[in-house]
Amino acid sequence: MWFQFWLVCSLKRLCLQFLTASGQSKQCASESVSSSRSGKVSTEITFINQRRQSVKTYWLDYSGKRKFYATIAPGDRVVQQTYVTHPWVVTDTSNNCLGVYYPDGQPRIVEIP
């Protein structure tokens, strides 16, 4: 099921965040097996916070550990330079995962509902 979600999102380049009953993104399950790979292809990812509370962004390093990058206030956005194989985690202010996102070869926009 997760593979189908990833495939549809990759092909259409338009992903809606599917939430479980607990409110946590199904994508968050992939955090435990995600890490950065190569730092060769530079790109950018823009995070837009559409929530009523602040959110945090973390880069997953080469060991899969979270590295804090930004707190995004409600209604604000952050443009982050990154690399294609570098995953990003968005959390609430209590560090609960809201989603795991990979950049594209071209600039990507992630709206955080």
Per-domain residue ranges of the chain: 20-112
Q: How distant is the alpha carbon of residue 8 from its chain centre?
A: 17
Q: What string of DSSP letters covers 1-33? A: -HHHHHHHHHHHS--PPPB-TTS-BGGGGGGGG
Q: Say if residue 79's pLDDT is above 70.
A: yes
Q: What is the pLDDT of residue 26?
A: 60
Q: What is the CATH superfamily name and number for domain 20-112?
A: von Hippel-Lindau disease tumour suppressor,  beta domain (2.60.40.780)
Torsion of CA 16, 104, 64, 112, to 10 degrees: -30
pLDDT one-digit tens code per residue, 12-54:
343 433 333 334 456 899 999 999 999 999 999 999 999 999 9
Q: What string of DSSP letters covers 43-69? A: EEEEEEE-SSS-EEEEEE-TTS-EEEE
